Amino acid sequence: FQGCGGNSEPSGSDPSGDNSTSASITAPSPVSIGTILSEVEDSGVKVTFFLAKGENGKHWLRATFSPLEIGYHVYSKDLPADGIDGIGRPTLLELSKHAAISDVGKLTADKKIHNFASPLNAAGFPVYPDGPVTLSLPFTMKPDAHAPVEVTTKITYMACTKTSCNPPVEGKVVKLTLK
């Protein structure tokens, strides 16, 4: 797979430069990262799932996408589903409908995106900095829900360097038990 940088600089080069764009990040929720639920590895990335609990049934499902090698990044959650001109895949965490869950909120990330300059697209590609990024998905557990609750999640991502990409993972189903 060709990286979003085409034949640009090797992955060990300095990623700083004037190719940054501003992006808003939601302030972190007032709870810890949470309890580890599960971990999966695929296509050069380890994804660790967490559950954090707040008051009044409020919960956050979190997934940390950690490339296994230095110099790899994943794409913004806001990238189109099929990438830009077919290049890249968004980094996503989805929670399937469940009778015990309501009020699923907006997916947020703990890192700001930057615009990765590329000869393959004049506008560049929105990516997170090299290394891990944690996505959070708020939801409410209904008061009458009885733990444990078995849920189905789906994850999508693609890890790349400046010159190459691992195969994308699209809609990978991961079953989790929420306690």
Query: pLDDT at residue 86 above 50?
Result: yes
Mean pLDDT of the 25-43 span: 73
Are 157 and 107 contacting, i.e. CB atoms less than 8 angstroms apart? no
Identify which of 1, 3, 4, 2 has the alpha carbon closest to the alpha carbon of residue 124. 4
**Residues 129-146: tens digit of each pLDDT:** 999 999 999 999 988 888
Q: Which two tokens stand for residue 37?
A: 């639920």
**154 or 7: which leads in pLDDT:** 154
The C-alpha R_g of the chain, in whole angstroms, comes to 17
Is the pTM higher than 0.95? The answer reads no
Q: What is the mean pLDDT of residues 102-114?
A: 96
Whether residue 29 contacts residue 159, with contact meaning beta carbons closer than 8 Å, is answered with no
